[in-house]
Structure 1
Amino acid sequence: MNEHDWLARQFETNRNHLRAVAYRMLGSASEADDVVQEAWLRLSRSDTDDVDNLGGWLTTVVARICLDALRARKSRREESLDGHAADAFASDTDSSDPEQQAQLADSVGPALLVVLETLAPAERLAFVLHDMFAVPFDRIAPIVGRTPTATRQLASRARRRVQGAATVAETDIGRQRKVVDAFLAASRSGDFAALLAVLDPDVVLRADRVAVEASVANRSRGAPDLATEVHGANTVADTFSGRAQGAQPALVDGMVGAVWAPGGTPRVVIRFAIAGGKVVAIEIVADPSRIGEIGVVMLDA
């Protein structure tokens, strides 16, 4: 086996882990796939003779790519945090022990994805790597350009927000259904005011490349173009006004979402994150390979 084949095999062994890290960093499965592909390209071009822990090296690469992506998002402005000041105010002890941290990261579910959108990039990275993937702070610190103590403080601040989100995010299926039904009805009828009423002011819409390309192809039919990422209630409402004509409510990985399934075959899946009775995040998935990985159960209209 030559070196390239060996690296490819090692990379495949780590692929699922890397994709999980990237997804929790970015909140978009399609972006996560792009990050993992970029990590492979960087690996294939790198000299790894001195790398003792290839899995750790790849995790660091993925984290750096994700951090760059988060910082590049126009609506994401990392909060100013002077490294020395952070050290001065950082606590040597955390409010939660490791077991409590692990339970929090694993149990919040959709609330976690909701609140991660509100975090500064460095906070998000520190929380995801440490609390969800047990990466030590001394390994995270060089990625975010902080000392280990300041990095601990970043994760602690993020954790407090996640704890608060656990009490806000909507996890009751019945209440989710009411919000999604109201959204779909307003979308189909083109009722802009009704769409605004159900959207959080800072709602985020993401669509994968297949969905974006399909919207462009359907432009002549009057369908508004999708963008890869859209922020804000007014822009998201404008995007969905008159859309969703064929969408049906469905359970999407156990949460209420919507599916366009002509002939009974899901072609487009729409995920919703709901908090406080409002839609705070939407993801449109049209890539057939991704749809095949999503659990979809149709609901009665």
Structure 2
Amino acid sequence: MAQTILLSQRKKRGGLLRGTGMTLLFAAALTAGLILFTPWPTVWNMALGSALERMPNVRASWKELDEAGAFRFRLAQVQGFTHTARFSADEVRFAIGFTPLTIRGLDIDFGRTKTSMDEARLELGLAPLARLVLVTGPELRADLFRGRTLVVNGGAELSRLFEGRGLSGVLNVSADCRWNTGFEGYPNAGNIELTAESLTLPDGTEARGLNIGADLNGKNVLIRKVAAEEPLRLRARGTAELRKNFFYTRVLLDGDLQTGDQRIPFRREDRLERLLN
């Protein structure tokens, strides 16, 4: 009697395992079929079109969507505009993973200022949570950490980052910015260091040995140091009030210029774009 019950229980377990195995096999086959035979270019085109409909201030189009799968796609020859800028890209790649977005041959037109980049890519992880890399020859990296902290390091070629402004040369950036709540508005605290071996200004002047250090507090900036070695030796401090249009930022500088053995008091207050000229 006991043996009969035991055999019956074993048969039930075997039937349950076979049934579970068949169910899992069917689910795997169905999933594989959906991934392999779903028209992913159509799906992604519809999804992107639907997303753009929810963003009335953005218009975009592309020549081709290819290399499409369940977790990736590529857009070729992208064109678009927002209410403040026009943009284009040779290639936009999206893939679910640690590098979800890569844009190559990116051009943005803000009107008076244009920006061009070899590549812009977004990388995700744990520390940092996200990294944005902009390539204009040198690489500029912006790392987002827990606690609303943004750390920026690297360099940018100004002739490509601010096309049409008459600036050229590689500007090296080191910055640490923190927000108390959200990322709206200016950083609540932070500091920034800017250095350059040589920069060409809009009037053709070549400034060498540039070194700028500043502390951030909302839209108010305390400029701890401004130093340049050529064409004149400059030492100054000052303040600035940030504006949404960066070139309209109000700047006050107070220091001295040195030519030979002579020191000349220096004081200037104006918009950043005029100071650069």
Normalising by the smaller structure, the TM-score range is under 0.3
Higher strand share: 2
Q: Give the structure-1-normalised TM-score.
A: 0.22
Higher radius of gyration, 1 or 2? 2
Q: Give the structure-2-normalised TM-score.
A: 0.23
